[in-house]
Amino acid sequence: MNGLSIFAGNSNVPLAERISEYLAKPLGRLKVNRFSDGETQVEIHENVRRREVYVIQSTCKPVNDNLVELLLLIDAFRRSSAARLTAVIPYFGYSRQDKKVAPRVPISAKVVAALLERTGVDRVITMDLHAGQIQGFFNVPVDNLYAAPIIIDDIKTRFSDDIVVVSPDAGGVERARAYAKRLDAGLAIVDKRRSAPNQAKAMAIIGDVKGKIALVIDDMVDTAGTLTEAASVISEKGAKEVHAYCTHPVLSGPAIDRITQSSLSSLVATDTVPLSEEARSCGKIKTLSIAKLVGEAIMRSYRGDSVNSLFV
């Protein structure tokens, strides 16, 4: 893979280093500074002419800073005559704004896709998009990987029998059903009513959780309102334990306090988003690494091999 170069922005350096280690390929040298007024300055410190460049950058908090940093990196590589540019975005910010939910609002995920394309990206590799149709917002290839194989392996290691997979809301039923099928487990759904953004009230359980270990599956946990409400109702319905799995631990606002005080026994997330110091010190939160999965996708993409087997 002599024609391959891997670079990382500042959003998730630990994950980038794990991916680099898996590929046995050192991260490229670059420098990202801030001017006194907050503007981002990017400098590439090695030759990338006619090379295939992969830029690893989650657009997580601070979302706008990390997004602009990614755009400037892409432009810098394009102007440095890189042969092909792939943006590796483990967590795709603005993905929840994928449709018009009210009059006179933007479709922000589409705006981000257009920005990436116009800046010069040739391909996008991402993980567990909040809505699959976001792939259609791009006119370049998008490989949307899934954390399911990693999460399912962990579930099989930790639990044996008496498990039931729970969707925290109606929107996640398809995802929960896929997990339940592969785990040969039962399925339950939380009937949730949302009164305002980031505010949810879980109302009832559709399905049987009594006497079982409930596994709540979601793509992301932000303020943890939905998750903790769901855990409370599941416990009230007689579940022995309630555990949660998610791909993206956004964990903003009161999320850590809510998780700490909730009836959840654990929350297992991947490292698409780096945990804050407060989250790392929370005994209920554990992480799984997606480095091998993303590294394999990069390797296959570079070699022109199929990545289809990574989607299941």
| pLDDT of 91 above 90 | yes
Is position 255 within any domain? yes
Task: Classify residue 293: in a domain, yes or no.
Answer: no
**pLDDT of 201 over the 80 cut:** no
**CA neighbor of 312 nearest in space, from 176, 126, 151, 149:** 149
Tell whether omega for the bond before 274 is within 30 degrees of 0, i.e. cis.
no
- The string of pLDDT tens digits covering residues 162-179 is 999 999 988 889 999 999
What is the average per-residue pLDDT within 223-246? Answer: 94
Same domain? For 135 and 200 the reply is no
Q: Give yes or no: residues 91 and 141 share one domain.
A: yes
Rounded to whole angstroms, the Cα distance separating 38 from 294 reads 31
- CB-CB neighbours of 194 under 10 Å: 12
Task: State the amino acid at position 222 in one-letter form.
Answer: D
**Chosen domain end from 104, 127, 145:** 145
Q: Are 164 and 215 in contact (CB under 8 A)?
A: yes
Q: Mind listing the pLDDT tens digit for each residue in 126-161?
A: 999 998 899 999 999 999 999 999 999 999 999 988
Question: Domain boundary at 125, 145, 165, which?
Answer: 145
Q: What is the pLDDT of residue 111?
A: 97
Q: Is 39 annotated as a binding residue?
A: yes
Question: What pLDDT, on a 0 to 100 scale, did the predictor assign at position 226?
Answer: 87
Mean confidence (pLDDT) of the chain: 93
94 contacts: CB under 8 Å, gap ≥ 6: 59, 63, 108, 109, 111, 112
Query: Is 122 assigned a ligand-binding role in the annotation?
Result: no
End of a domain among 78, 113, 145?
A: 145
Based on the domain organization, do 138 and 176 belong to the same domain? no
Residue 297 belongs to a domain:
no
Asked whether residue 66 falls in the same domain as residue 182, the answer is no
Q: Are 137 and 117 in contact (CB under 8 A)?
A: no
From 192, 212, 240, 284, active-site residue: 192
The sheet that has 52-56: what strands, in order across it?
4-8, 52-56, 84-89, 123-127, 142-145
The whole domain housing 198 covers 148-288
CA distances from 57 to 13, 92, 305, 310 (A): 8, 9, 23, 20
Strand partners, 288: 270
Q: Please confirm, yes or no, whether 192 is among the known catalytic residues.
A: yes
Question: Is the confidence at residue 202, as pLDDT, over 60?
Answer: no
CATH number at residue 119: 3.40.50.2020
Question: Is there a binding annotation on residue 40?
Answer: no
